[in-house]
Chain A
Amino acid sequence: MANKKKNDYVSKDNLGNNVSQKEVKVKNKENKYVSDKNEKKEVKEKITSPKEIILSIKNASYRYSDAEEGDYALKNVSFDFESGKLYAIRGRSGTGKTTLLSLISGLEKCTEGEIIFDGKSLKDMNLDKYRNSDIGIVFQSYNLLPFMTASENIVLSMDVNGLKIKNKKAKAIELMEKVGLKASYANRKVLRLSGGEQQRVAIARSLSYNPKMIIADEPTGNLDKQTETEILEIFKKLAHEENKCVIIVTHSQNVCDTVDTIYDLKKREK
Chain B
Amino acid sequence: MFILKNAWISIKRNKGRNILIGIIILIIACACTITLAIKNTAVDLINSYKSAYDKEVTIGFNRENMMKSFDPSQEEGRESAREKFDNIASYTISDVLKFADSDYIESYYYTYSVGLNGNSIEKAEIESNGDMPNGFGHGKENNMSSTDFTLTGYSSEDAMSEFISGTYTMNEITDNAWNIAFNGNYVFINEELASYNNLKLNDKIKLEDEDGNVYEFEIIGIFKENEEDNQESMSMFSNSVNTIITNTDAVVNLTNGNENLKASIHPTFIIDSYDNVENLQDEFYEKGLDENFILQTNEELAESGVSSVKNISSFSTTFLIITLIIGGIVLFVINMINIRERKYEIGVLRTIGISKLKLTMQFVVELAIVSVVALMLGAGIGAVSSKGVSNSLLASEINSSNEKTEEVNKNFGGMNRGGERGNMHGKGMPVVQAYDSIDAVVDIKVLLELLGIGLSLVLVSSIASMVSIQRFSPLTILKERS
A residues contacting B by CB (< 8 A) are 98, 102, 105, 107-108, 128-133, 137, 139-141, 143-145, 147-148, 152, 156-157, 159-161, 205
- Please indicate the chain B residues that have their CB under 8 angstroms from the CB of A144 in the complex: 348
- Could you say which of A132, A139, A147 contacts B13, with CB atoms under 8 Å apart? A147
Specify which chain B residues have a CB less than 8 angstroms from the CB of A145 in the assembled complex.
345, 348-349
Q: With A147-B13, A159-B5, A160-B2 known to touch, is A141 a contact of B352 (CB < 8 Å)?
A: no
Whether A139 contacts B478 in the complex (CB less than 8 A), given A148-B9, A160-B2, comes out as: yes
The 5 closest A-B pairs by CB, nearest first: A132-B353, A159-B2, A131-B353, A128-B355, A147-B13
**A-contact bits for B410-424, CB 8 A (1 contact / 0 none):** 000000000000000
Q: Encode B455-482 as 1/0 by CB contact (under 8 A) with A.
A: 0000000000000000001110011011
Q: Looking across the interface, which residue of chain B has its beta carbon closest to that of A158? A: B2
A contact residues around B481 at 8 Å (CB): 141, 143
CB neighbours (8 Å) of A137 from chain B are: 351-352
Q: How many residues of B contact A (CB 8 A)?
A: 23
Q: Is the interface of B mostly helix, strand, loop or mixed?
A: helix
In the bound complex, residues from chain A placing their C-beta under 8 Å from that of B345 are 145
Q: Which residues of B contact A (CB under 8 A)?
A: 1-2, 5-6, 9, 13, 345, 347-349, 351-356, 473-475, 478-479, 481-482
Which residue of chain A lies nearest to B357 when distances are taken between CB atoms in the complex? A128
How far does the alpha carbon of A143 sit from the alpha carbon of B356 in the complex, in Å? Answer: 18
With a CB–CB cut-off of 8 A, which chain B residues contact A132?
Answer: 352-354
Question: Is A102's CB under 8 angstroms from B353's CB?
Answer: no
Within the assembled complex, what's the spacing in Å between the Cα atoms of A157 and B354? 9
Instruction: Tell me whether A160 and B9 are in contact (CB under 8 A).
Output: no
Given contacts A137-B352, A141-B481, A205-B352, contact A156 B475 (CB under 8 A): no
Residues of chain A within 8 A (CB-CB) of B351 are: 105, 107, 131, 137, 139, 143
Jot down 5 A-B pairs with beta carbons below 8 A, ordered by A.
A107-B475, A131-B352, A133-B353, A139-B351, A157-B352
Let me know if A140 and B482 touch, CB within 8 A. Answer: yes
Q: Is the CB of A143 within 8 A of B354?
A: no
Residues on A with C-beta less than 8 A from B354 are 128, 132, 160
* Complex interface: chain A residues within 8 A of B347 (CB): 143
Question: Are A143 and B348 neighbours in the complex by a CB distance under 8 Å?
Answer: yes
Interfacial chain B residues near A157, Cβ < 8 Å: 352
Expressed in whole angstroms, the minimum distance between the Cβ of B355 and any Cβ of chain A is 4
